[in-house]
Structure 1
């Protein structure tokens, strides 16, 4: 009798395990509606032979990342509207916002992950749906927040492939130079034109694609990650800032709050940078006009001219970026908009040229920023 009960229990456990395994493989897709409208918030200068900086501030949601076709459809629709306005040509440098590639960790998951209202619930669905990948990633995770590290590390290879497919594909489709915002990956590098991941710590990196869809240079790491992301993202100051040649001029990329620090501009100026792209993600709904949070865990921020709470986020970003850039180069800061579970993205893009600050009109939804060179 005992052997019979043990056998029956083992059979039930095996059936449950098989059922769970089959459940983790199911990925049905839900109904999807998306707003493809975008407003031209800044249009400065006159068309010429030098080209233009074209910032795209998309309005994105978790469901946009359920598959690559959805993400491509939205971003290509924005670019099509920009092209219809005469803002896209072979010398155009398109700038996308920070972390637009990081959310690719949510690609190809169960419907429930996109329908919950809090990130912690989404993380739970991610872990339950990918038990083996998550477990292995936890073993390799580093930093103070190993769970957040594992969420990104477990799908890093897929994310790198998706990032290059989507953003390299858009660059080739529209024949433009494209600064593909940023993505968090473990020790990423480009090998023979392919973005690959390593086994080291996580870095917040940006990659520039040429008009043929091929990466220009190596991934540019964020030098000084700020706020809570420092718990699992490592600073990239061990890898120097780089400049790449584009049809519009020599281009450097400063990710996020790297744009606040004059030394970064001096480093790029020493490499004859003419243009600077600054992809940004500012978290928190309506945070643009709230008190500036500063750079809470970055000792270098002690040397900034502003202190936490002295100004709004809007004033701080505009003042610090303009003061740091000075006369070095023409720059454009582009923000990610939308809602990722309870985490909203805010901010309004702006440009600096020859010490002059250029701000666009305030508008809800997705925004285009254009600066003729």
Structure 2
């Protein structure tokens, strides 16, 4: 057996330029410039291999001996230590690129494109709730269509919209991983869709109050509370509950409510002409104002996204707040001669193709102002109820 541990700490420290053996294939190479490098010589399948073990600056004699023994043991098994070390590095790198880690990086990279940095739209939620708990710790390079199929199968038909969003987000994450140079199957989500098949889920429309019944409900909101006033303004403006909840006095200008792009589902600024009735509701809400918000919660922030829905539930109603947008749209179609593009613009819907929109530079604000006055007249019981 070859002698081991030939060098002492003093010899290592004072070694002259050249190569100095510690035995067992461990060498210290002292360069003429003063730098020193440990390396190990082993013979594998009749071929001599040399692997660096680090600089003397960072690797002590003791550490070099321990590392050398580790790789000598590998060599005794007939394995190439250099290849085995590379394999370890690749495995470590894969561990650093789990789906959860890459998903977080992909989300961070997209935040600037998302409304409210992705928080308002909950971009990350479908991944966080339905995918990461199951396969988040799997190296993303190992994920295939079968993994994705098994993960989303429980909700593919029962929660079709959520499953669709989760699949979409996962596809974005896989493409982000490919851009990072990782060996992923960017077609895995499409293959998983093929395995899952067409969703059998039939979408349900949000229950809405018949437009004929809106005046009676509006009249019942007569207590002047934050919830009553919020529901009244929601009905009068035909907006979404999130837009009402975060309504801020700074957004009201000359009888027009200007909702900034970051708060809109479309990502575009939306102007809403306020009827006289709507302006009156805003005045009634001002005493409740906190930090500019008209509809604050009892403790902090604004009323929750469930406040108005729960109120209608307690009244035994099937209809929900979002349904008043449908009530308004049906009223436009059945009780007025409002052109489609004006009615749709009132709901902040995208109207027409890209070319048409490029040439149409109006949001019909004044025409909609007249329309919202007519709607307010109906809602308050002053118009023809049909």
Shared fold per TM-score greater than 0.5: no
TM-score, with structure 2 as normaliser: 0.23
TM-score, with structure 1 as normaliser: 0.24
Q: Higher strand proportion, which one?
A: 1
Higher relative contact order (CA 8 A, sep 6+): 1
Q: Larger C-alpha radius of gyration, 1 or 2?
A: 2
